[in-house]
Copies of this chain bind each other. A is one copy, B any other.
């Protein structure tokens, strides 16, 4: 045991396990069917079971074990085309049933929410069908591969909202306690008028020119490269933290390695990539650097890349305001740096807040101070927030409209990059 908090001490004492024996009798715990049998279920059907599917599964499974929820998330059905694989995934991740056709899943009466964890090219089709079928929808980011798709999804979500269905897009990094704290501090006015926002999302898994041409490197499947994958996160985060929408951007993009080996075998359900037999063309960006302006006048800079050698998951954001600054690095996700410029300079400096105190976002339900959380807990928090929204009938954030707005920024980035980096306004 690492940290003895006072409440915990009392709690442990309350176990009374050293007391006299005798009266104890076995009790079928009401939790046998979930955290609380007295709470209505929220039956989830999830499409996709790879990396994101695993992460969402952890989120749905854990949320009700940690937080007091108004509804009990039930891992009802998982869906994927390959029957053997999806059944294995169901067993591994704890889903009660498996489907091999998302259309069947969407049509099931015993599903309340469809959670879309597939690549971006299928988001629109599944989401539209799920909304049409009366389901709530959680859709992984980016919302879609094109603005047109995202617009259609947003219209459908708006219409569904009138019927009481909710839709959310999975920008999970809003649910890191440190970023949520940062947003709270900006909203409280602690930074004053903002002057600068600089954000990077640096990874390095494409540095090796021999890395294969996966679906992520093909425009028709992935929509874009680092831009949609990493850039979407940082655009959303920058807009979330500032509470503003970008007014315009100027961008350069680059594909450093234009030919890559085809992967050993084409994935089931996907055609083999075109190519000269052994290599194929990379049709997405490897990196994007762009600058922008916020309506308030703040300048912004962005960089998304898969070629930042040695940087594994360096989503870094810094916001400078008239009265203070904040900085965050996803590689140290339990920390938030804060400079309070209203203090005398003599004792001022960037302080490292360990975002593990009970009054930090989400932390009242977790461990004692200093006992950090990990990446996967962003999905626990996402599940928690969505369950609360559904129970309350309130629109969750980020909405599909938020996802659409990010898509418009990405489109403006691509447009600017094609037009010699000229400053390109974001369509409102």
Instruction: Chain B residues near A314: list those with CB within 8 A.
Output: 370
Contact with B along A354-377 (1 / 0, CB 8 A): 101101100000011111111111
In contact, B203 and A200 (Cβ under 8 angstroms):
no
A141 contacts the other chain (CB 8 A): yes
Cβ-defined partner of A252 (8 Å) among B48, B94, B216, B250 = B250
Instruction: Chain B residues near A207: list those with CB within 8 A.
Output: 195, 322, 341
Instruction: Chain B residues near A24: list those with CB within 8 A.
Output: 79, 99-105
A290 contacts the other chain (CB 8 A): yes
Instruction: Chain B residues near A187: list those with CB within 8 A.
Output: none
Cβ-defined partner of A9 (8 Å) among B93, B214, B318 = B214
A312 contacts the other chain (CB 8 A): yes
Q: Considering the chains assembled together, what is the distance between the CA atoms of A119 and B93 in angstroms?
A: 33
A97 contacts the other chain (CB 8 A): yes
In contact, A341 and B310 (Cβ under 8 angstroms):
yes
Q: Considering the chains assembled together, what is the distance between the CA atoms of A77 and B51 in angstroms?
A: 32
Chain A count of residues within 8 A CB distance of the other chain = 181
Shortest A161–chain B CB gap in Å is 25
Q: A51-B11, A268-B14 are in contact. Are A1 and B229 (CB under 8 A)?
A: yes
In contact, B369 and A312 (Cβ under 8 angstroms):
yes
A12 contacts the other chain (CB 8 A): yes
Beyond A191-B309, A309-B320, A349-B351, 14 additional contacts (C-beta under 8 Å) are A16-B268, A19-B269, A21-B101, A24-B101, A27-B97, A31-B94, A204-B320, A254-B299, A289-B299, A289-B300, A338-B349, A349-B353, A351-B352, A421-B422
8 contacts between A and B (CB under 8 A): A12-B50, A15-B80, A26-B104, A29-B87, A65-B93, A313-B369, A371-B374, A373-B374
